[in-house]
Amino acid sequence: MARADLLLDIVKAGAEGNQELFRKTLEALIAEERAKQHKVLADQLAAHLRLNESPVRPLRALQEVNSDRSAFAEVRPRRSLASLVLPAVVREVCAELVEEHHRADLLRAHGLEPRHRVLLSGPPGNGKTSLAEALAFELAVPLYVVRYESIIGSYLGETAVRLAKLFAQVRSERCVLFFDEFDVVGKERGDVHETGEIKRVVSSLLLQVDQLPSHVVVVAATNHSELLDRAAWRRFQVRLSLPIPTKEQRVEWLKQFENRTGLSLGHSHANLAKTLGAISFAELELFALDVQRRFVLALPEGNIRTIVARRLKQWTARVKPKTESKRNRNG
């Protein structure tokens, strides 16, 4: 049975002739039915929606539009929040966001909606994509990763049209919509080096984000937060930073790796974290997988302590030229 608040809102919209309320309520109702796997009913309801402010399309035409999902890739989320090593404040805020969505009915009973626009910033390789996946996992919804090669066009107005089509496709589904490298489409409009087309794209994008219903959780990630349009910052209710992991976080990640793989690294976690230095989680994973790979190839005689020592020596030799090059430039 449909949510009582949605039925009441539809009746209210009909009585008042409020087309905007009718559209938003119908989108939420469609999302609810899709989540229940009532696909036929959801498609029938969706046939009454107006897409891109055009007249109501027949069901067959609407299905053709929805079948073209080239603008994003669907990822089946497998990581949980508990599996990630996160700063305490990031973990707390994400847990609160998940709770808001699981208890959305209570919020709506008090005229409130759960937060659903999240901006993640920080250097590459520190968990922004993994966190988006974990949010989708905790919310039990699919993760849709925007594919810029299918969005950005070479003709005037083409990108804005494709963005509008993308948002129209996801409005009636419960999902996490993930924009990686968000600065590609969310650049500062005051940048004198950018064209008028980029500025129109940003304006269209921000308008579309504003109009998304709360059952669509938008997660945007950027390595260059300084490039984002100031209005884009204001659109996001949750703004989180994921910096380079601390030594303690690297130690925690190494412990999780051992528990997950059953492979003891044979060295003190603290010493490993210190020797590896200030590296990202992505680089840490590269190192650990390299160790695991060499250990498997050395079976059955492989000595894990020797393998780790050799990997550390190679790692130090690999990063040393960067340090020396920087020192030579400064000298």
Q: Distance between CA 309 and CA 312 in Å, rounded?
A: 5
Q: Return the pLDDT at 27.
A: 72
| Domain residue ranges in the chain | 4-67, 72-241, 247-330
For residues 52-62, average pLDDT:
40
Cα within 13 Å of Cα(190), Cβ side: 7
Question: How far from 252 is each of 56, 137, 246, 255, 274, CA to CA, in Å?
Answer: 54, 22, 10, 5, 13
Q: Distance between CA 181 and CA 219 in Å, rounded?
A: 11
pLDDT per residue as tens digits for the range 140-187: 999 999 998 888 876 667 888 888 889 988 988 899 999 998 988 876
Q: Return the pLDDT at 244.
A: 95
* Domain 72-241: assigned CATH number: 3.40.50.300
Q: Return the pLDDT at 183.
A: 84
Question: How far from 169 is each of 105, 108, 146, 309, CA to CA, in Å?
Answer: 24, 24, 12, 52
Q: Return the pLDDT at 319.
A: 56
User: What is the pTM assigned to this prediction?
Assistant: 0.76
Lowest mean pLDDT among 44-53, 74-83, 322-331: 322-331
Q: Distance between CA 283 and CA 92 in Å, rounded?
A: 25
Q: Distance between CA 239 and CA 233 in Å, rounded?
A: 8
Model confidence at 291, pLDDT cuts 50, 70, 90, reads very high
Q: Distance between CA 26 and CA 44 in Å, rounded?
A: 11
Both structure tokens of 268: 């003190």
On the question of pLDDT at 266 being above 80, the answer is: yes
Model confidence at 56, pLDDT cuts 50, 70, 90, reads very low
Q: Return the pLDDT at 232.
A: 82
| Between 232 and 220, the higher pLDDT residue | 220
| Between 258 and 183, the higher pLDDT residue | 258
